[in-house]
Homo-oligomer: A and B are copies of this chain.
Amino acid sequence: MLLDSSGGNVLPDNLENILPPGQKDRFRQQIEFILEVDKLKNVLRRTILMDRSRRENSAEHSWHIALTVLILSEYAKDSDVDLFRVMKILLVHDLIEIDAGDTYCYDDQGRQDQAQREKNAADRIFNLLPADQAKTLRELWDEFEERKTPESRFANALDRLQPFLHNYVTEGQIWQENNIKSDQVKSRMRPVNDGAPILWDYVSSLIDDSVKKGFLAD
């Protein structure tokens, strides 16, 4: 029987009678993955919730932006973008943080070994799954990171817009705590332009407004 991380068994003894023949290992891997990804709920991001009550975790962030696909799809640069694929990319894109942690986007030191840490994490986490599903999820993550397809560009745009809105609504609290300047935010937000130009114009305006209001240093 499979022992999960808390020491409980999640596969009953009669599993072979339940599943189609030869399916037992596959099912075990799928359930193990579902238990493992629970850990993303404990990965804290730098972003705070809009009511400032606490830091956001990467699981709820992923939900927020996957839902946003439905709301902002008309602003995707490519009007033929496959929204199902965008959604899948966003549900998967932060799973590597279970091992690699959330690297603050303005942490230049942390970002030096970020790529290697995240690659190692992807090698472990996606390979908990049966090989075909491991390949599917790894491809979604690679696509997100490479930002070459319309789907990954739109996904990246939404992934950057959401924490930006949190920062704006909370009057730049996290920007100020970390001495972030407007040029850094502009540079960080540029991928919004590749995936959703109208949303980039919107973000760009709010960056100027943030400086004007003192939320963000010039």
Contact = CB atoms under 8 A, between A and B. Distances in A.
Contacts of A105: none
By DSSP majority rule, is chain A's interface helix, strand, loop, or mixed? helix
Contact of A63 (B4, B62, B68, B206): B62
Which bracket fits the contact residues of A?
35 or more
A67 interface: yes
Interface stretch (A146-154, A162-170, A175-183): A162-170
Contacts of A37: 64, 67
A41 B60 contact: yes
Give how many copies assemble into the complex. Answer: 2
Interface string A45-63: 0000111110011011011
A38 B65 CA distance: 11
Interface stretch (A86-94, A106-114, A115-123, A186-194): A86-94
B51 A42 contact: yes
B198 A165 contact: no
Contacts of A168: 8, 10
A62 B14 CA distance: 30
Given A67-B92, A71-B129, A91-B70, A169 B59 contact: no
A1 B5 CA distance: 50
Contacts of A12: 202, 205-206, 208-209
A114 B192 CA distance: 40
Going nearest first, the 3 A-B pairs with the smallest beta carbon separation are: A63-B63, A12-B205, A84-B84
19 contacts: A6-B52, A10-B168, A12-B205, A15-B205, A18-B198, A30-B72, A34-B64, A35-B50, A41-B49, A42-B53, A60-B60, A67-B92, A70-B88, A70-B92, A70-B133, A70-B136, A71-B133, A84-B84, A87-B88
